[in-house]
Structure 1
């Protein structure tokens, strides 16, 4: 006799057996996967690195300056008259003493000739009066003439001598006036736009004048620096050495001229907290123009054999500045002492050694002792750095 299970109950038992088999298979697969692939840590952080360099570094102070001529002269007439000649071309380079224009001098020449004629007449009268005086002296010795007559003749001689001196002064004054009719350049420079034409009447004290002559070689730049740098720049004009100054375009990328610091103003501008300085430049090529705005970089010293890193490698933390140094594919935090620094480089005075590899890019994902992966950087990190210029006989800091 056989017992038959209900069809629904057999289906349930079959489903249960199937579920058990699936669970066993999944457990085997999971166990084998865990045995083959053990847990791994975080992936390496991609970073760019550079090495610490050792070299001389110029200490630079930058400011904005205005180009100014050392001599800017407005030529104004010193006598009134008609302009007869203009002997220059606008924008022409002229030499000191070069004749630029003439003013009608006929009236002055006439006055000069008249003064010379009066002097000649007085000289003739003086000669005759001196001869009469000599005769009167002889007669007075013989008591043939009164002393009063002799004294009157002496007075006449002195009067004529004074008249001659007055004539000579008049002649000298007319000669000076005659030189004023020739307009010459007082400096070497470039003439500006002409303000009068031949045939125009000019008067003494005309506000506009005839033309402007501006010295452009050498030329100067007036610039400002923060008052905190006063101590560093005060010793640069003592005559022992020349402080190097570079003049660049407004963006600071193109070098226009190189010169030297000549003057520091005698007071600090209280409204801005800055000091004014003047630097002088040779300007043979005319790259500096009066009124032009330029960026000025003043070398205040040289850090000799300094350890140099790009400025972006130095980070600021709670304990001060630090860098990430890479050793054995790991990044370690190194506290550093920073000396001179600018927008491009930083001089490290402690914490690093020449040749150390430090991180330049990729700081945001770094943690102490994190594994790193080096990324190649084709650009040169120090290609734009200005090379130092040492004064003769000076030593690096």
Structure 2
């Protein structure tokens, strides 16, 4: 067999390559080539830059507080004979909570009244004696000393009558304390001392705790940087907190006027406490419950807004990808002025109506071609 030379092999390879590329040019690019080019175009989701007025909110987690919490105690010694309420019951101010045995205090009142009647009778007789002494001293039948003694007796008995009247008033007051009534409108807790027990005046332990839950207060703290805007807005108009309980699901927010701003900043946390008052007509809020609080601080006029997902963080700061007319992207640096869960307010080299990328940023670089697969609405902040 004749041996083929290396030169001949090279010539044959060259002929084959020319034939292959010639046919490829004649029939056009292959499916693989097309797939490769399509693979270079990244699918993205976009949104439109909008200019609109944006309200600025401060957010915090607040705690619901009772408007008043009263530990009900006895003001006298005695035995509890009955409770006039059920545990957890709503009571009005003045409603009977506990009844203490009245008998000892009724007896003390009768004794005080008896002493008063005795001394009133003696005072009446002393005044008659004084009148007679005044008449007789003018005629010289009695001495001046006798008249002075009658005068002193009358004054002493008048003092006794006044003291007796005070004792009667005190006995009536003590008798009134046998009925322990609610000092506020509120909801009772558990009964802490059952009927039959002996209680003493101002014992350390309470008989029951009554919590006023209509209205309630909501306490929350905001960063001290918000204080100037809070004060400015409060001076211009009512400052209102928008509240939502953590377990309310789709329930609508409720609003409550802010009526307290603390007079000092907490040096540890750098925050200042605020409180709002809510009438709580349906008792929706319960003391100790956590609520989300939003406070409207300011309004940004004609601000440039984009969805929050459009803003990215790079080595030179924050930026967005803008999609040009030829479906290529360019990177624009921006400054973030405000953001919430949905939108971001920015300033920089952006114009209303431009298109920014909100999803798919990890697959693109400046100058890359993109394919828009969906559009995200620019969420409304309210």
**In which range does the TM-score fall when normalised by the shorter chain?**
0.7 to 0.9
Residue 348 (structure 1) aligned to one of 330, 339, 346: 346
Shift in Å, 1:244 = 2.4
Structure 1 counterpart SS, 2:193? coil
Q: Is the 8 A contact 2:77 2:200 kept in 1?
A: yes
The aligned residue for residue 279 of structure 2 is 282
The 1:367/1:15 distance shift into structure 2, 3 A limit, reads: closer
Moved more, 223-232 or 144-153: 223-232
Alignment of 1:293-312 (within 5 A): 293-312=290-309
TM-score by length of 2: 0.87
Q: What is the SS of the residue equivalent to 1:108?
A: helix
**1:84 and 2:81 are equivalent in the alignment:** yes
1:141-160 equivalences in 2 (<5 Å): 141-160=138-157
Q: TM-score, normalised by structure 1?
A: 0.84
Deviation at 1:386, TM superposition (A): 5.7
* Structure 2 residue matching 1:354: 3-state secondary structure: coil
2:22 paired residue among 22, 31, 38: 31
Where does residue 374 of structure 1 map in the other structure?
A: 372
RMSD of aligned residue pairs (Cα, Å): 3.0
Match of residue 113 from structure 2 = 116
Residue in 2 that maps onto 1:393 = none
Show the 5 A alignment for 1:197-208: 197-208=194-205
In the alignment, structure 1 residue 137 sits paired with structure 2 residue 134: yes
TM-superposition CA deviations, 1:57-100 (whole Å, max 9, x none): 33222223322211000101111111112111111111111111
Write the distance in 1 (CA, Å) between the matches of 2:124 and 2:355.
Answer: 103
C-alpha spacing 1:254/1:330, structure 2 compared with 1 (3 Å): farther
**Equivalent in the alignment of 1:358:** 356
**Match for residue 242 of structure 2?**
245
Find the aligned partners of 2:306 and 2:373 in 1 and give their Cα distance: 18
Change (3 A) 1:252 1:295: farther
- Choose the corresponding residue for 1:331, options 329, 332, 338: 329
Q: 1:66–1:293: 8 Å Cα contact kept in structure 2?
A: yes
Structure 1 Cα separation of the partners of residues 348 and 299 of structure 2: 18
What does 1:37-52 align with in structure 2 at a 5 Å threshold?
37=29, 43-52=40-49
Tell me how far 1:17 sits from its aligned partner: 6.9
Contact 1:256 1:287 in 2 (8 A): no
Contact 2:243 2:255 in 1 (8 A): yes
8 Å Cα contact 1:195-1:210 kept in structure 2: yes
Residue 207 of structure 1 deviates from its aligned partner by: 2.1
Structure 1 unaligned blocks of 5 or more: 1-7, 388-397
SS at match of 2:173: helix
Secondary structure of 1:215's counterpart equals strand
Q: Are residues 237 and 175 of structure 1, via their aligned partners in 2, closer, same or farther at CA, if it must alter by over 3 Å?
A: farther
Deviations 1:146-175 (A, max 9, x none): 111111111111111111111121112112
Equivalences for 1:165-244 in 2 at 5 Å? 165-238=162-235, 240-244=237-241
Alignment of 1:3-82 (within 5 A): 8=1, 11-12=2-3, 20=11, 23-34=14-25, 36-37=28-29, 43-82=40-79
Name the CA distance, whole Å, in 2 between partners of 1:71 and 1:203.
24
